[in-house]
Amino acid sequence: MSAEWKTQAPQSWKLTLPCTKAEAERLAGEVPEIEILDNPPVLMTSEPDPDRPDDWQLDAYFEGEPEADALALVRSLVPSAAAIAAAPEPVEDQDWVTLSQAFLEPIRAGRFYVHTAAHAGTAPDGAVTFHIEAGRAFGTGHHETTTGCLEMLDRMAGEGLRFDRVIDVGTGTGLLAFAARALWPDARYAASDIDPISIDVTAENMAANAIPADAMLLVTAPGLDDPALQAAAPYDLVIANILAGPLIDLAPDLAGALAPGGSIVLAGLLDTQAEAVTAAYVAQGLTPVDRNTRGDWPTLRLRK
């Protein structure tokens, strides 16, 4: 899942709101809800006073003075602060995306261990390790959607499933494609994203993780709308961690590119959206076979 982040802005603004620990934990990684905004804010959560462990703080950083709809959306993320009359203020210009994520704690999901440079050398024995630096694209592994996909892929490998042609649609940082390649190293891989920045980031992350540049076809495209991606079909594994609306819209294309007997892993949807997303793929002849849920975020697996 990707977002078009601008890392330098003429003026940054900050909105500070109190929040509960539970709200802060939900917002600690990427938050797909804010991607509906043209310029999503960067969210930072902190515990101002360790002696008050349930009283946390949300700082939302905006590129330029935020519009009312953006402020309302951020406020909706912390219902406990509904009565707080805080206003945004201008702040010193910084790269808030990288700053907010640079010291994210490592993630363990199944056999996978995902870390930034701040935690290099901390991987447990036997883990499949990826260095995914914080920055310009969605998918460091810290949101439940990405972690849920990692766990689903790990479970599929544990069941003995094998794949020969794999595509990661909406690849973001490339992490899910990298994880699949670690599980099924002999398969052919493609990764696409509508955001060209994400494709650049994926290429950078391939180098950072010693993945050969020719190990994966990287394409900037919405869904599968590219001749190279279509020529590489059919795929026997499709991974799509995007949002519910695009997943539904892409159902005919993704299902059509899936080989008979192939599997598709879908994420980026809320639990309340799972029925509609599943129905869109069932209408294309797919059958639900597995599901895991982290918080409000399910990961679905269907088979053709």
Whether 203 and 216 have beta carbons less than 8 Å apart is answered as: no
193 annotated ligand-binding residue: yes
200 annotated ligand-binding residue: no
**Alpha-carbon gap, residue 96 to 68, rounded angstroms:** 21
Q: In this structure, which long-range contacts are made by residues 226-230, counting pairs with CB atoms below 8 Å and at least 24 apart in sequence?
A: 226/192, 228/190, 229/167, 229/190, 229/192, 229/257, 230/257
**Nearest partner of 217 among 206, 209, 114, judged by Cα:** 206
> Which token pair is 79?
């219902």
**Alpha-carbon gap, residue 162 to 179, rounded angstroms:** 14
Strands 297-303 and 287-294: antiparallel
**Alpha-carbon gap, residue 249 to 240, rounded angstroms:** 12
**Alpha-carbon gap, residue 285 to 110, rounded angstroms:** 30
C-alpha distance from residue 120 to each of 23, 57, 104, 123, 135 (Å): 28, 28, 12, 8, 17
**Alpha-carbon gap, residue 104 to 134, rounded angstroms:** 8
Q: Check residue 267 and report its DSSP letter.
A: E
170 annotated ligand-binding residue: yes
**Alpha-carbon gap, residue 291 to 133, rounded angstroms:** 28
241 annotated ligand-binding residue: yes
Binding residues for S-adenosyl-L-methionine: 146, 170, 193, 241
Binding residues: 146, 170, 193, 241
